[in-house]
Every structure is written in structure tokens, then in C-alpha cells.
Structure 1
Amino acid sequence: MRLTQHSDYALRALVFLASNPDRLSSIREIAECYSLSENYMIKIIHRLGLGGFIETIRGRNGGLRLGRPADAIRIGDVVRFTEDDCALVSCMQPPGERNGASCRLMPDCTLRHTLDEALGAFFAVLDNRTLADMIGQGEKRKLTLPADGGP
């Protein structure tokens, strides 16, 4: 399985916010940190806000912060929310979303069950990790700006 760029950068944005819990952050500084366009980061932040992962504060002194504590945000929940389709093969999609004819091996396909088990194991690992687990000392140093706001 390969995550979309949207999920990748959503996770990175959350890591950035978790690395700076004592202040509000801006979309611009997150976008600059990861060398992304601000417009792309706006879409990501909007989606994360819809999921309750972040909170946006409007106004002159506004900004972004986590919507709940970093230890309450499971990585698996973020990936499920940001990925449109987690099916490894088309037969794993809900019946109304499958492209093409039904598989002749269904319903007793061992391959499908094996892939479903693998996907379950993938999410089991992600569900065992929180955003707080993703914040090591290296991330704090790299993603925290000096108090004067300069590089």
C-alpha cells in the first residue's frame, strides 16, 4: 500500500503542530517547512479541520493548533480519514464502488482474504501509534522556530 501525497503531508502537518504545542502556527510556515505550495497546504488543513484533528483560530492573532492532545490522535485514524480508498484490490471495495465485473473467484478467494488480512495488520500497527509517538527530539529541533521567528 502506498499513501497519497495528501495523507503524507497531512501527517507531516500534524507532526509540525505537535512539535509546537505552546503556540499557534500558520499555514504558511508549515508549507514553507515542507517546501509545499500554500494553496495545497490550505486544502490539507481544511480537510484535517473537518476531521477534528486541528483547530483553526481566526483573527489577527489566529493560527492553527491540534484539535485534541497528540496522544489522543491515532495515526491509523488520520490515514483512514485522509485516504479516499484503502482497498488493495478492486474486489475489496464495497459492491457499489467496484469497477468492472465481479471476480470469478469470489466469494471464496484466498488472495482477497490474504490481502484483507495484510491491510488489517497495516492498520493495526498505525492504530497502535499516536501523534505523540511521532515526536522525537529530532523533530522538535528541526520543526521548532527560534523565539525571534527567524531561521
Structure 2
Amino acid sequence: MRLTSFTDYGLRILMRLAAQSGQVLSTAELASDLHLSRNHLSKIVQHLSRHGIVVTQRGGGGGAALALPADQVRLGDVVRLLEDGQPLVECFAAGGGECSLDGCCRLKSRLRHAEARFLDDLNRSTMADIALKKTEMA
């Protein structure tokens, strides 16, 4: 399984915010820490904000912070949110894609089960478990 860079960076942003729980971090600071463009980082933060994972503040002293305590933000839920619209395989896409085995494929149900187990396993951990402190960043 491969996660999109959107999800990868979203998790990194949340790991950093979880380490500073209750504090607002500027997008400039986050972008610098994570070696991301501010534009790309802002898109990810906006997506997380629209879904209630982070809160944002504009202006001086503005930035982003976790909307919930880090121990209430489950990894599997975050990955599911960030990977929404990115099917594991083509036949999981809306409309079923171009599968030539549709109707006789015995792989699809196994892949759906594996994907569900993967997300369930990730949900055993929270952002508090993987919080990344600035001093740990290379």
C-alpha cells in the first residue's frame, strides 16, 4: 500500500502540531520545519480544518493548532480522511474503473478487507503516540 504525498505531509503536519498541543504554529514555521512550500502546506491545513482536525487563525500570531486533544485524533481516521478519493485499486473508484474481471474477481473482497484492517490497526494509535517534537526533526 502506498499513501499519497498529501497524506504523508498531512500526517507530518499533525505530528508537529501534536507536539505543541494547545499552541498555534504559523504556516511559515511548519513549512520550514517540514521542507514544504507554504502553498502546498496551506492546502493540506485547509483540508484538515474543513474536517475539524485542526483550527486556524489568521493574522499576526495566526497559524494552525489541533482542534482536539492529540490523544483523541486517531491515525486511521486521519489516513481515511486524507486518502478520500484515492482508491487502493482502480476497481474501488467510483464507477468501478475499467476492470476486465468485474463480476468474477475474487481479489476485490480480500483487498477491501486488508484495507479495512490496515485502517483499524492505525486507529489503535493516536497523534499523541507519534507526536514529533521540533528537536527530533532532522
Q: Is the 8 A contact 1:48 1:54 kept in 2?
A: yes
Is the 1:16–1:143 contact (alpha carbons within 8 Å) kept by the matching residues of 2?
no
**What number of residue pairs does the alignment pair up?**
137
**Cα distance in 2, alignment partners of residues 127 and 39 from structure 1:** 29
Query: Counterpart of 1:132?
Result: 128
Deviation at 1:22, TM superposition (A): 4.4
TM-score by length of 1: 0.80
Q: 1:118 deviation in Å?
A: 1.2
2:54 maps to a residue whose letter is: I
Structure 2 counterparts to residues 87-126 of structure 1, below 5 A: 87-94=87-94, 96=95, 98-100=96-98, 103-104=101-102, 106=103, 109-126=105-122
Q: Percent identity?
A: 39
Map 1:12-51; keep pairs closer than 5 Å.
12-51=12-51
User: CA, structure 1 residues 92+23, in 2 after alignment: closer, same or farther (shift >3 Å)?
Assistant: closer
How well do the aligned residues superpose, as a CA RMSD in angstroms?
2.0
Residue 5 of structure 1 and its aligned partner are, at CA, apart by 0.4
Deviations along 1:65-117, one digit per CA (max 9) or x if unpaired, are: 101111111111111111133533223334x3x2225625x2x5321122122
Report if the CA contact (8 A) 2:22-2:66 is conserved.
no
CA distance in structure 2 between the aligned counterparts of 1:75 and 1:3, rounded to whole angstroms: 13
User: 1:59 & 1:87 partners in 2: Cα distance?
Assistant: 37
For 1:56, give the aligned amino acid. Answer: T
Structure 1: runs of 5+ lacking an equivalent: 145-151
Task: Return the offset for 1:43.
Answer: 0.6
Larger Cα Rg: Structure 1 or Structure 2?
Answer: 1
For residue 23 of structure 1, report the CA deviation from its aligned partner: 2.4
Normalized against structure 2, the TM-score is what? 0.87
Asked if 1:142 is matched to 2:130, the reply is no
Q: Which runs of 5+ in 2 are unaligned?
A: none
